């Protein structure tokens, strides 16, 4: 807790059997939506359940699937989200719901059985305002499995608890999140000026208001990452750009780990310049030797990546390991480049175009 955050206060518990509102922003998810919705409707809770789908302007069969699902089960309701921005859609879904507890769900994910019941128990036990668990990434193709392995490893995404696990306790943020409606309304719902990082920013305001954000490693959500290299690079560049925007807005409130990818980008840029100067003969002799020290961090980085790919902790299979050698640097460099752009000039109208493409269907 930072010194300018008030001491934690308890969030009010919901009345027994009062029900849960699940909210899900949806855009171009024809291959994932039915499975994600099924995982929500299968949740066992003491009270009524509703699922609000915020439909963006999809260009595939997503809307038809959503209408079919809503027609088949009255617990599923639809709201329009023509802007396609995630925080706008989530806010519209929250406002359309009626229950005092909100569960955010991603259309690219599936809740594990018992997820909601466990989260509600944790909310009541800890008196937290928001509870989240582990994002367990999975893949179907060798490339997607390599991306999933990177998501699940501290090497890939920097060791956030909701990626690689950890001890239960107070947290900086929560993946997706199971939240008390009254606290959300008190702090002002999601910031609709953000296209990425909106969950981190919301949890910052929740903590600033004095409430607890809680990590429970027993909560698990299956997530299917992007399934090709172009979409992966676009996603991470956009995410990095918005993190740069958040650094402009909140400075030191951002974790130190967010600065590792832009540091790598800076080292790569300096190394390229030094190499060009050495080849051109501008740097020679003792100066060339002294300047070569810039290559040491890159050598260490390559050694780290190679050691990880060859370790038992990495994904299994030769193809997956080879993809990992491309996937992790792509994630780091794309995120770092985006961060530099966002920190220097802001995110402006940056859009995650990886969401505008169709995805490989699951078996």
- What pLDDT is attached to residue 153? 87
User: H or E stretch including 94?
Assistant: helix 86-96
Residues in the chain: 363
- What pLDDT is attached to residue 363? 40
Q: What are phi and psi of 327, to 5 degrees?
A: -65, -50
What is the Cα–Cα distance from 317 to 212, expressed in whole angstroms? Answer: 41
What is the Cα–Cα distance from 252 to 208, expressed in whole angstroms? Answer: 14
Give this prediction's pTM: 0.86
Residues forming beta bridges with residue 170, ordered by sequence position: 214
- What pLDDT is attached to residue 119? 96
User: H or E stretch including 178?
Assistant: strand 178-180
Look at residue 25 and give its three-state secondary structure: strand
- What pLDDT is attached to residue 361? 44
- What pLDDT is attached to residue 162? 63
What is the Cα–Cα distance from 79 to 76, expressed in whole angstroms? Answer: 10
Six-digit token string for 269: 């840029």
Can you give the residue ranges of every domain in the chain? 21-225, 252-356
* Superfamily for the 21-225 domain: Spore Coat Polysaccharide Biosynthesis Protein SpsA; Chain A (3.90.550.10)
Mean pLDDT by runs of 10 across the 363 residues of the chain is: 61 92 96 95 95 96 97 98 93 97 94 95 96 92 94 78 74 93 96 91 95 94 91 94 91 82 96 95 92 95 93 88 95 96 83 54 43
Residues forming beta bridges with residue 215, ordered by sequence position: 132, 169
Q: Which of 352, 173, 356, 133 is nearest to 258 (CA)?
A: 173
What is the Cα–Cα distance from 87 to 92, expressed in whole angstroms? Answer: 9
- What pLDDT is attached to residue 251? 82
What is the Cα–Cα distance from 266 to 260, expressed in whole angstroms? Answer: 10
Which residues, 6+ apart, have CB-to-CB distance to 178 below 8 Å?
101, 102, 103, 104, 116, 119, 120, 122, 123, 130, 131, 132
CA angle 41, 139, 162 (to 5 degrees): 70
């Amino acid at each position: 807790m930072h010194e300018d955050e008030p001491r934690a206060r308890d969030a009010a518990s919901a009345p027994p059997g009062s029900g849960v509102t699940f909210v899900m922003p949806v855009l171009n998810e024809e291959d994932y939506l039915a499975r994600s919705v099924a995982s929500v409707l299968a949740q066992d809770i003491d009270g009524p359940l509703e699922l609000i789908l915020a439909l963006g302007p999809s260009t595939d069969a997503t809307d038809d699937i959503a209408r079919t699902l809503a027609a088949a089960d009255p617990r599923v309701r639809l709201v329009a989200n023509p802007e396609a921005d995630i925080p706008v859609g989530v806010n519209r879904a929250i406002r359309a719901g009626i229950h005092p507890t909100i569960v955010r769900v991603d259309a690219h994910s599936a809740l594990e059985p018992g997820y909601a019941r466990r989260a509600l128990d944790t909310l009541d036990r800890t008196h937290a305002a928001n509870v989240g668990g582990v994002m367990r990434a999975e893949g179907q193709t060798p490339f997607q499995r390599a991306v999933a392995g990177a998501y699940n490893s501290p090497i890939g995404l920097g060791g956030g608890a909701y990626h690689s696990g950890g001890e239960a306790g107070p947290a900086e943020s929560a993946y997706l999140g199971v939240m008390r409606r009254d606290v959300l309304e008190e702090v002002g719902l999601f910031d609709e000026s953000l296209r990425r990082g909106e969950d981190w920013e919301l949890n910052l305001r929740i903590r600033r208001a004095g409430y607890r954000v809680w990590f429970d490693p027993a909560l698990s959500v299956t997530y299917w990452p992007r399934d090709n290299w172009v979409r992966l690079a676009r996603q991470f560049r956009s995410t990095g750009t918005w993190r740069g925007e958040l650094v402009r807005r909140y400075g030191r409130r951002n974790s130190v780990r967010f600065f590792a990818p832009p540091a790598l980008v800076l080292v790569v840029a300096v190394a390229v310049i030094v190499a060009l100067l050495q080849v051109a003969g501008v740097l020679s002799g003792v100066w060339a030797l002294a300047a070569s020290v810039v290559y040491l961090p890159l050598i260490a980085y390559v050694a780290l990546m190679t050691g990880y790919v060859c370790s038992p902790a990495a994904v299994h299979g030769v193809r997956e390991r080879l993809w990992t050698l491309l996937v992790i640097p792509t994630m780091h460099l794309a995120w770092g480049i985006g961060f530099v752009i966002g920190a220097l000039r802001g995110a402006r109208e940056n859009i995650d175009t990886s969401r505008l493409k169709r995805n490989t269907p699951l078996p």
